[in-house]
Chains A and B, each alone.
Chain A
Amino acid sequence: MGATAIPEYNFLRYPKGLKSWLLTQDHKRIGVMYFAAIMFFFFVGGLLAVILRTELFSNRSSFMSSDTYNQFFTLHGAIMIFLFIIPSIPAAIGNFVLPLQIGAKDVAFPRLNLASWYIYVVGAFVCLFAIVSGGVDTGWTFYTPYSTTTSTSVVSMTLGVFILGFSSIFTGLNFIVTIHKLRVPGMTWFRMPLMVWGLYATAIIQVLATPVLGITLLLLILEKLVGIGIFDPAMGGDPVLFQHFFWFYSHPAVYIMILPGMAIISELIAHFSHRHIFGYKAIAFSSLGIALVSFLVWGHHMFVSGQSELAAIVFSFLTFFVGIPSGIKVFNWMMTLYKGSIEFKTPMLYALSFLFLFTIGGLTGIFLGALPVDVHLTDTYFVVAHFHYVMMGGTVMALLGGIHYWWPKMFGRMYNEFWAKVACVIIFVGFNMTFFSQFILGTKGMPRRYHNYLDQYQPLHAFSSVGAWVLGFGFLIFMIYMIHSLMRGRPAGNNPWGVLGFEWETTSPPPPENFAKDPVLSHGPYDYDTVLIQRSDIAAQRPVGRA
């Protein structure tokens, strides 16, 4: 072992005791706590999805009533969106990685950071209370007038989401100040890793948009409890106004979900191609471009809601602008791969899966942004397939890539590379089986959120359900080898991938104060053309390891 043994003095072991964890202000521990929480909810949401797909295997009710079905798909959506995907990359991975990447000891407001985790937990419990006290059957969007008339626990669910919003705002605020104030001397804006740019753009949206969700849900609660009438036409209100409020947050929120995913992909592609990233500034600015455009396109969720045709035309036109920064990113990643020295490690496999799946998800988004096409495809499985390709094929693939990439740094241990690759391939295949069939179902007219359906859709539904089982099996393998790695994984060493970046210069896992001595910036994060680096796992196998 010797040089590669896990260092005794690390943030996981020191300080000791449960209390030191519950009251920790260490961004790494808070990141790990967030990681545990989001993986739990990912498991719950995923289990719901597999149950739903199993029910949909047959076109008649097999083991679920229609009401239960409505509650299950609402829970799947609400848990995956609010409890898993929004906090996933920024709060879990970002919290762990961001200060390390900019050479800081911690985030700017460590107490606020801990508070955000507790607020998240409180919000999650309120949501769980809503589930056990009657459930919710509105879909994750809580559209009026149904949500104001249904007798299910809409109030407690929206209250839970309202509370979760504060956790998101705190994280965003913390990251903005951290990135502005705590970068290591010499790290100018254009020498930051692209992960940091992505988290910065995400944080701006979190701070600007999340309060609007808070207002919206508060109005909904007031409407339901007191009957203020803002969404009620009988009292001079407008139910479509709810959708404006809701999507003014929730469309930018889609970019809260995907931007940090793109940030991870920029890192993975550059590092595993061992090449200076192509078009650094273009990628950095396209993140900000996406953040900006994201605020101007919400009406494309409402083409058939009864909004004015003029608004629909303007929103459809504006929607196409999203394609420009997204395209810039994809082409720059492709150019980074070109003539790179590509290493097909598990994180890179996920990054390549992302490129493939996100491109399909993004391009089908263009179809849906086109007003006349969308009128036909609205509320069909085409939409379901589209956003799963973006959210799962995009964000979750990036998250998985990020988990595999920073896992050795987080826990100091490697996972089994063979099984990780097997799981990646199974997840990729299962994902496409599940959701590509849904594109076809959608174009054939299968409506979303239906419990029973016509006979003609049965074969494709069955195929999709089998895909969901394959996908679940892939995640089961993932779970097994990751738990195995935690128990008895091989010590990783400081820099198992042989890549650049501050986080790989410290020990794995890092000490509580991140760096043994103040880090000094000597090169950019992607300077593979000028800097020679040493992989610690290779060095360990040599009889005489280099320092």
Chain B
Amino acid sequence: MSANAQTHHILPIRVYLAVGTALLVLTAVTVWVAGHDYGEYNLIVAMIIAAVKASLVAAYFMHLRYDNKVYLAVFVGALLFLAVFIILTMLDTLRRGDVNAIETGPIDQNAVIYQQQVIDTSHTGAMKSVDSASTHTSPAK
């Protein structure tokens, strides 16, 4: 409603008390949850509780629920863009090595890059050291 944008909406005190209580209860839940190990879901559980708390604050204490819906759209839009940023970045950071597992490991400092080969060049009789990259291409000549 556009009228809501102009007039100052006043909430009854019991709504504030109810929301405040809910926030305290959720804080207790956060503490209680922290004592349990849900493995890789730890973060998700904590984030869900935090998101509910943040939504309550935004909706009631910051009056987003009663304001012009444009503000809600802007607020949710910002969250969506944040989600895009985090999801697409995690698509990289969590998925490295899915195709080539070798890429995730540390570089082997002692890896032999070129197999040193000693071949006999018969026409000169000299011994010559050639790396495998050049011996690989030599049959094409």
Contacts and interface: CB of A to CB of B under 8 A. Distances in A.
Contacts of B91: 308, 310-311, 314
Contacts of A248: 85, 89
Interface in A190-229: 208, 212
B17 interface: no
Contacts, number: 50
Contacts of B78: 208
B96 interface: yes
A248 B81 CA distance: 10
B69 to A, nearest CB: 15
Interface string A276-308: 000000000000000000011011001000111
Nearest to B91: A311
A240 B85 CA distance: 14
B127 interface: no
Nearest to A313: B99
Nearest to A297: B88
B52 interface: no
A105 interface: no
Contacts of A208: 78, 81
B81 A308 contact: no
B37 interface: no
Interface residues of A, number: 20
A244 B100 contact: no
Contact of A307 (B84, B96, B100): B96
B92 A308 contact: yes
Interface in B81-114: 81, 84-85, 88-89, 91-100, 103
A296 B103 contact: no
A310 B98 contact: yes
A19 to B, nearest CB: 38
A309 interface: yes
A296 B98 contact: no
Interface in A243-290: 244, 248
Contacts of A299: 88, 92
Contacts of B92: 240, 244, 299, 302, 307-308, 310-311
A295 B89 contact: no
Contacts of A302: 92
A241 interface: yes
Contacts of B85: 212, 244, 248
Interface string B30-66: 0000000000000000000000000000000000000
Contact of B93 (A241, A295, A296, A314): A241
A295 B84 contact: yes
Nearest to A252: B81
Contact of A310 (B81, B84, B89, B99): B99
B80 to A, nearest CB: 10
B89 A244 contact: yes
Contacts of B100: 309
A505 interface: no
B84 A311 contact: no
B99 A296 contact: no
Contacts of A244: 85, 89, 92
Contacts of A513: none
Interface of A: 208, 212, 238, 240-241, 244, 248, 295-296, 298-299, 302, 306-311, 314-315
22 contacts: A208-B81, A212-B85, A240-B92, A241-B93, A295-B84, A298-B88, A299-B92, A302-B92, A306-B96, A307-B92, A308-B91, A308-B93, A308-B95, A308-B97, A308-B98, A308-B99, A309-B99, A310-B91, A310-B92, A311-B92, A311-B95, A315-B88
Closest 6 CB pairs of A and B: A311-B92, A309-B99, A308-B95, A307-B92, A308-B96, A311-B91
